[in-house]
Chain A
Amino acid sequence: MPRGSNIARVIAFIALGAGAAVLSNLTASTQRKLAWAGSYPRALDVGAPAVEPAPTASIPAPAEPTAPPAVSAGSPPAVQVTAPPAPPAALEPDLAKSFPPHPDKSAIEVAPENVLLLHRRNALFLDARRSSVYADGHIPGARSLPVWESDIDTRVKALYEEGLDQRAPIVAYCSGGNCEDSHMLAEKLYMVGFDNVLIYKDGFPDWQKRGLPVNRGANP
């Protein structure tokens, strides 16, 4: 048997696979569909995405009891189970002062304490994880913007068209650890002019570890 036919059959297998993939993607639901051309600028970078570390110190958190550093130094963050008591109702402007926009970069990371503060002050929270994961549990009030699903650009556009203040702080999170979905989302938001996306680096697992409330289902 000539070798050419071997190669032809291998190519036939691949062509068949490609055809099946085209058909399957055509008939897939939005959550399963995938655009054929991916746009992932950092696809070849190894290591953490370039993001400024948290501007931790600048936050006026009046009522937060700060533990003495000597005690908290060795203890893991999981120890802090209860949320600090809510600060007195403060004005929006001071929130804007604590978290100024950063038009020169797409995102900066914020410390968990600041995330809690922002949540109490009703900052916009965005969940970058898959919609099925979002439905299993998410931060109350957070909206679902799953970066890996095919309708993400439509969702970002819809958010843009709501005419929100683009300089107001927005918190984006995913599943913590090496998860980069929130950074990807931040980049998409940056492209349409949102200048103040903050990354909750430890993400939803940290939120759960702190025993904070969780909403289930497809709605915020």
Chain B
Amino acid sequence: MSVRVQIGLGIVFVVAAIPKIVDPPGFAHMIYNYRLVPGGLVNGAALVMPWVELIAGLALILGVWRREAAILVGIMLLVFIVAIGVNLARDHAVDCGCFNVKSAGRSREELLSDMRWVLIRDVGLLLLVAQVLAATRPPRWNRPT
């Protein structure tokens, strides 16, 4: 089962990465909208993050360094959860920019309810990461003490 979870998680990240790689300015705009990244770092984050998503996703699909890829995916999910959570807490509506970098011009209420769903979805994905990590634990005799 963990292999399927791992492949599913990998596909989610690959699919999410592609539109961002195709349109870095669009993704930079999304990151800017979150109002969490200092101005000088917005573009750098928009350029590098999608590639890390893609590579980690591919590694999960192919089963290469899957434990490390899962750790990285977990870290990214935590970052996304914090970013959405902070903006929900301060009532600042943003386009998630998760799978799409074009703002659809939706209303504040629609965006806020979307953000709540994204939060739940990301927590669910995090559970999948936990599953992969549990399945790829090194054997007991090989664990550092």
Contacts and interface: CB of A to CB of B under 8 A. Distances in A.
Interface of A: 1-3, 6, 9-10, 13-14, 16-18, 20-22, 24-25, 28, 31-47, 130, 146, 148-150, 175-179, 205
A10 B142 CA distance: 20
B44 interface: yes
Contacts of A148: 25-26, 28-29
Contact of B25 (A21, A34, A39, A176): A34
Contact of A39 (B24, B40, B93): B40
Decide if the interface of chain A is mainly helix, strand, loop or mixed: loop
Nearest to B45: A38
B110 to A, nearest CB: 12
Contacts, number: 117
Given A3-B144, A36-B47, A13 B68 contact: yes
A148 B54 CA distance: 23
Closest 8 CB pairs of A and B: A17-B52, A43-B39, A40-B39, A17-B51, A9-B68, A38-B43, A38-B42, A148-B25
B92 interface: yes
27 contacts: A10-B68, A13-B56, A13-B59, A13-B65, A13-B69, A14-B72, A17-B53, A17-B54, A20-B54, A28-B24, A32-B22, A32-B23, A32-B24, A34-B43, A34-B47, A36-B47, A37-B40, A38-B40, A38-B41, A38-B44, A40-B32, A40-B39, A43-B32, A46-B35, A47-B92, A148-B26, A150-B25
Nearest to B35: A46
A205 B39 contact: no
Contacts of A13: 52, 55-56, 59, 65, 68-69, 72
Given A38-B43, A175-B103, A32 B71 contact: no
